[in-house]
Structure 1
Amino acid sequence: MEAKAIAKYVRISPLKVHYICREITGKQVDEALSILKFTPKKGARVLEEVLNSAVANAENNLNLDRDNLYVSAAYANDGPHMKRWRPKAKGMAYPILKRSSHVGVEVKEKE
């Protein structure tokens, strides 16, 4: 059985979150939460919320035991970009892409 949770349209670049996703994939849930708690990044706070939601989904909806859960997948996909312009020399404009991401976590129970 597998439970998952997704946070959509999070206003952070997916690249910044993806580095933290690689750290927690394959870890036990409690170990992953302690890693996220002591990681001083904004993406870690977002991932911590999503992981807590996935664990709650597993416990309440699928009746899985929290002690046997591990993070099977954590990902940060591209969301829509906000397009802005910055003035440059000689009347030109420079595009700025303010990125957003869809952050997801899947937890499974060990057999």
Structure 2
Amino acid sequence: MTAEEMTNRYLQRLDNRLRAYEMALNQTIADIESDYDQGCLGVTEAQWQDIIVLLGGIVQANTRMIHEASKNVSADGEVSGSLLNLLELAEHFATLDFPESPLIKQEAKA
């Protein structure tokens, strides 16, 4: 196998992982919206703003913004459920670490 073939194979696997993480992120956002609509999610106005900043940081691939917003979201108390999933996914986007194992958890939930 040539170096170009190896590189293309790796990039294809990474692209597949990124698509899977994108789907996991979209599902997590939908879960947060659903939790909020059902009254199961208690967040402050400041936390909502930090969640929006966090999502913007992910979209912009801004690691500093992701780290700061992640800290702020959890600063007002314990975070669980869909918000915890969002913070875990944000960490993957901040570090550009997209292993396959977290996807298995997400796919098991679906």
Same fold (TM over 0.5): no
Max Rg structure? 1
**Structure with the bigger percentage of helix:** 2
Which of 1 and 2 has higher RCO (CA within 8 Å, sep 6+)?
A: 1
Q: Output the TM-score relative to the length of structure 1.
A: 0.28
**Structure with the bigger percentage of strand:** 1
